[in-house]
């Protein structure tokens, strides 16, 4: 018998985010952003298939909240997400 695991209306929660400065800038390629880290979903703004991740626990956020979190991280780092540094 197969057991189904429901996610409810909130969807899956992401338990970790990569905060490595080098991974904040998008590279423009179609990449994998989600993986499993310590049995929870983990998200890297750049590409989970690369090395050098610095995983930080999120407490379990939705994908919508994750977009807001990453946008704020990029703004604080001065990265616009298009592989170009902002002028300061």
42-88 confidence digits (pLDDT tens): 999 988 988 999 999 999 999 889 989 999 998 998 876 554 444 43
Q: Give the list of residues 6+ apart from residue 52 with CB closer than 8 angstroms, or none.
A: 20, 22, 23
Q: What is the pLDDT of residue 10?
A: 56
Q: What is the pLDDT of residue 51?
A: 92
Give me the residue spans of the domains in the chain. Answer: 14-77
pTM above 0.75, yes or no: no
**Res 2 pLDDT > 70:** no
When pLDDT is cut at 50, 70 and 90, the band that residue 36 belongs to is very high
């Amino acid at each position: 018998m197969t057991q189904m695991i429901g996610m409810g209306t909130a969807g899956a929660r992401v338990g970790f985010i990569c905060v490595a400065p080098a991974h904040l800038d998008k590279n423009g390629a179609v990449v994998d952003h989600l993986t499993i880290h310590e049995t929870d979903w983990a998200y890297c703004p750049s590409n989970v298939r690369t090395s050098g991740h610095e995983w930080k626990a999120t407490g379990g956020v939705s994908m919508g909240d994750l977009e807001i979190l990453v946008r704020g991280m990029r703004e604080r780092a001065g990265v616009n997400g298009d592989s170009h540094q902002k002028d300061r």
